[in-house]
A and B are shown apart, each in its own frame.
Chain A
Amino acid sequence: MSESGKVPGLWRRTTLVDRGGPRGIDRGGRGLLTVLAVVAVAVPLLNQVVPATSAFHLSPFGITLIGKYMCYGMLAMAVDLIWGYCGILSLGHGAFFALGGYAMGMYLMRQIGPRGVYGDPVLPDFMVFLNYKSLPWFWQGFNHFPLALAMVAIVPALLALVFGWFAFRSRVTGVYLSIITQALTYALMLAFFRNDMGFGGNNGFTDFKEILGFDLHSDRTRVVLLVITAAALAAGYAACRKIVESRAGRVVLAIRDAESRTRFLGYPVESFKLWLFVISGILAGVAGALYVPQVGIINPSEFAPINSIEAVIWVAVGGRGTLYGAIAGAVLVNYLKTYLTGAFPEIWLYALGALFVLVTLFLPRGITGLLHLRSTQT
């Protein structure tokens, strides 16, 4: 008898993980890279070349929206890398996203310089307001862009390393791991809400002026940020694809499907999980860092558990274990969110819940699973 009885027969014929065929042919990934290239070319054209009076002109609002969706797509990809491929369901990935965002936010705050409301040459407004006399030690150096960039990766990586080391060494798996990741992001949210943490309390950081000397409110800077985001997403995708298509990627799948068997073959399961978790944390951090200059604000609500849960829903809707499906899911659900919270603000949370239930019941492999089913049947 087959052991895979838990998968409904309809789905059994297709593979749960799209590994892009025998020679790395990856149709979904090619589609994604094409879309990103089109976005990176079309957005500058539509915004900079098409006159503002034209119906085809892309407004600054539109640019920010697309940029935001791509950042969410990157976060979803980070979640998919560990959940779809290694079975680690993190309900706290928003924490890494927010930490990356805060690192970038600290740089942007330092860039404001003396142009704040209180006009202090060094201290950000909130520090003046809270009677800080000097810059806290952990703010030192954040006026240097390279350091801030390094921190965007290092801080989430360190958190992922320490958290993962304890969790995986203790063999915490499944729902227990999900719960403690949720607790992790909740604890960070409470900490960042405190004024004396030195991160602006519940107001967080905002009123950014410029990045590397470029005005954050100019359309041109917005367009450049969007193109950088598209490039980062493409690079992130390529990196993830390289991992999952390597032998290490097959070990990761083996861990997902039969952890103790993999251990018995001599693989250090905990170390593989830790590597993947740290890489995923860095990806989420980079996504957060790209997000903050585009939306212009970061505050502790980014740590809210609901954000991390939403990211998981994006992945579930898009389809686990494909990477590009996660990105598609993030864009789709967020488009729906933008539309619904504008048109019918009171039903959004119900719609989100219903979507999750429906996808779980009827599309266990998400939207990309639907595409695959058709392509294998014809």
Chain B
Amino acid sequence: MNVRDKRLQLEGLTVSFDGFKALNNLSLHVDPGEMLCIIGPNGAGKTTMMDVITGKTRPDSGTARFGVDIDLLGMSEAEIVGAGIGRKFQKPTVFEQLTVFENLELALAGSRSFLTTFRARMSGAQQERIHQVLDIIGLLDQRDAFARILAHGQKQWLEIGMLLMQNPELLLVDEPVAGMTPNEVERTAELLRSLAGEHSVVVVEHDMAFVRSIAKRVVVLHEGSVIAEGDMDAVQKHARVIEVYLGV
């Protein structure tokens, strides 16, 4: 396994849509193995930032580097996935008509062409890997269940599992606990905590209690820039944060 030491470094990112600055000179970094939470009111630029990192949106200015020598801004979405950055979208999209196991199978690394997948046989190591991930996401018992019968929370975990199959260095997770029951929220927190260290994890989330339970470091975005950063307690006491976000 490669050494996981790539630091994500964003510098001076600006993105404008018709004059509206979705990102305004945004700079932040994510250390290897770190768990970072990003919070901020609607329109603060959280999703745009994710889009820039994953190559979906090109910034007007600024730099985005992964490790010392990878310039994310010059890469396609697929290349960025290949470089080890996986993203989990807000809305869970798993393949409903496939089983949990098959969902993970399709996420296995390897050639994606028709002929190779037609001839593909699962190796012992691949099966092992799928079982490992099933264990991590807590769906071992649902291995052969169709994804469509999973509860909402389980679908989210399955999707995280699909990301893990590709063993990314950096995981971007967009609102993982929206719509989850308290019990599911707790298990998701556990899951994400267990991933940090092995992977760098960036979580965008509204749920304050959840953020408090997982993050050591929190970054607050507002109008496309970082307005505060630190641990949850420090951030919650920050005057500007209280003003724009916590609305007290």
Contacts and interface: CB of A to CB of B under 8 A. Distances in A.
B31 interface: no
A265 B162 contact: yes
B112 A267 contact: yes
Interface string A240-282: 0001001110110110111001101111100110010000000
Interface in A140-198: none
B148 A251 contact: no
Nearest to B107: A265
A347 interface: no
Contacts of A352: none
Among the interface residues B95, B105, B152, which one has the most CB atoms of the partner chain A within 10 A?
Answer: B95
A257 B96 contact: yes
A262 B152 CA distance: 20
B97 A253 contact: yes
Interface in B54-100: 77-78, 81, 93-98
Contact of A4 (B93, B148, B152): B148
Contacts of B98: 250, 253-254, 257
Interface residues of A, number: 30
Report the contact-size class of chain B (Cβ under 8 Å from the partner).
20 to 34
B146 A15 contact: yes
Contacts of B146: 15
Interface stretch (B116-124, B131-139, B199-207, B228-236): B116-124
A267 B77 CA distance: 13
Contact of B118 (A15, A16, A243, A257): A243
Given A1-B152, A266-B81, A268-B113, A247 B95 contact: no
Contacts of B94: 258
Nearest to B93: A261
A259 B113 CA distance: 16
B117 A251 contact: yes
B113 A271 contact: yes
B240 to A, nearest CB: 36
A3 B96 contact: yes
A22 interface: yes
Nearest to A7: B148
Nearest to A16: B97
B51 interface: no
Nearest to B162: A265
Contacts of A272: 114
Contact of A248 (B97, B118, B144, B148): B118
A15 to B, nearest CB: 7
A376 interface: no
B106 A254 contact: yes
B118 A250 contact: no
Contact of B114 (A250, A258, A271): A271
B153 to A, nearest CB: 12
Contacts of B112: 265-268
A272 B114 CA distance: 6
Nearest to B92: A3
B120 A247 contact: yes
A255 to B, nearest CB: 9
A248 B162 CA distance: 17
Main secondary structure of the interface of B (DSSP, over half): helix
A258 B95 contact: yes
Contacts of A248: 114-115, 117-118, 120
Contacts of A12: 148
Given A250-B98, A254-B106, A275 B148 contact: no
B97 A15 contact: yes
Given A15-B97, A258-B93, A246 B119 contact: yes
Contacts of A15: 97, 146
B102 interface: yes
A16 B147 CA distance: 13
A17 interface: yes
Among the interface residues B106, B107, B113, which one has the most CB atoms of the partner chain A within 10 A?
Answer: B106
B78 A257 contact: no
Nearest to A254: B95
A2 B148 contact: yes
A22 B113 CA distance: 24
A256 to B, nearest CB: 8
B96 A4 contact: yes
Contacts of B179: 1
Among the interface residues B118, B146, B152, which one has the most CB atoms of the partner chain A within 10 A?
Answer: B118
Among the interface residues A254, A268, A271, which one has the most CB atoms of the partner chain B within 10 A?
Answer: A254
B23 to A, nearest CB: 23
A257 B106 contact: no
A272 B117 CA distance: 10
Contacts of B77: 264
Given A250-B102, A272-B114, 5 more contacts: A4-B148, A253-B97, A254-B106, A266-B78, A275-B114
29 contacts: A1-B179, A3-B96, A15-B97, A16-B97, A243-B118, A246-B117, A247-B105, A247-B106, A247-B117, A247-B120, A248-B114, A248-B117, A248-B118, A250-B98, A250-B105, A253-B95, A253-B98, A254-B95, A256-B97, A257-B95, A258-B93, A258-B94, A261-B95, A266-B78, A266-B81, A266-B112, A267-B117, A268-B112, A268-B114
